Amino acid sequence: QVQLVESGGGLAQAGGSLRVSCVASGRTSSARVMGWFRQHPGKEREFVAAIDWDGGATDYAESVKDRFTISRDNAKNTVYLQMESLKSDDTSVYYCAASSLVVVTSSEGNYDYWGQGTRVIVSS
């Protein structure tokens, strides 16, 4: 089993920045790829970004590309999502997820473990 705990959510101004974090614990060897997803109330969960622990390869949704940056600190078993130039459309609950695949993936079905989420609200 893998446990994932997100933190860092909160209120931000449009155009501002925010960083959310995810700490992985338990059998972390089962978490080869880490991803961020988000879900706005009334909408389906959508892919945001992903990164693999070894080579650091990344993938981003087109809606956040060039604004968001995913990174990882292997020593701390922590993955980060740095969000810049925030828009009101970025308002969502952000979820951390882990996959046993060896290649970064944007498919929700490929992720086996999920955190409880951290809420991000972007005001105008």
Ranges of H-type helices in 1-123:
none
pLDDT at 118: 98
Phi, psi of 66, rounded to the nearest 5 degrees: 80, -5
Instruction: List strands edge to edge, sheet with 68-73.
Output: 2-7, 18-26, 78-83, 68-73
The DSSP call for residue 104 is -
Structure tokens at 120: 């991000």
Residue 124: predicted pLDDT:
87
Look at residues 102, 82, 103, 104 and name the one whose alpha carbon lies nearest to residue 18.
82
Torsion angle, alpha carbons of 58, 95, 65, 42, to 10: 150
Blockwise average pLDDT, block size 10, the chain, 124 residues? 96 98 93 96 94 95 97 96 97 97 95 97 94
Cβ-based neighbour number of residue 60 at 10 Å: 20
pLDDT score for 41 = 84
